[in-house]
Amino acid sequence: KNEVEQSPQNLTAQEGEFITINCSYSVGISALHWLQQHPGGGIVSLFMLSSGKKKHGRLIATINIQEKHSSLHITASHPRDSAVYICAVNRGSQGNLIFGKGTKLSVKP
């Protein structure tokens, strides 16, 4: 079993829809990251969380440490949000990341 699990694997939405991507982990962590990868490979860090909730524009990330679960929400989705969204964690005090397999999001106009 992977230490970091994401769902769904693939997600297709219509422009304007509210989107939720889920991440569960099975190890002790010090931080959880949400990353965005566009076609071509470039990766951008969206959020780093150790507790609570963070918001940036139309993106919201939450984490529940007790339940070992995080969600990434996108409000008013847009075709430019189409990308792979990856959940990753720092295990304990380690600096390196452990990754989920990613969620491929496609937003149709």
Residues in contact with other proteins by CB under 8 A are 30-31, 33, 35, 41-45, 48, 50, 86, 88, 90, 92-102
User: Which amino acid is located at 69 in the chain?
Assistant: H
Q: Which two tokens stand for residue 3?
A: 């230490």
Smallest distance from other proteins to CB 17, Å: 26
Smallest distance from other proteins to CB 39, Å: 12
The residue (of 14 and 94) whose beta carbon lies closer to other proteins is 94
User: 46 and 34 in contact (C-beta within 8 Å)?
Assistant: yes
The residue (of 77 and 100) whose beta carbon lies closer to other proteins is 100
Q: Is 30 helix (H, G, I), strand (E, B) or coil?
A: strand
Smallest distance from other proteins to CB 61, Å: 13
Smallest distance from other proteins to CB 47, Å: 9
Q: Beta-strand (E) ranges in 1-109?
A: 4-7, 10-14, 19-25, 29-37, 43-49, 52-56, 59-64, 69-74, 83-91, 97-99, 103-108
Q: Which residue has the tokens 């969600």?
A: 71
The residue (of 77 and 90) whose beta carbon lies closer to other proteins is 90
The residue (of 5 and 17) whose beta carbon lies closer to other proteins is 5
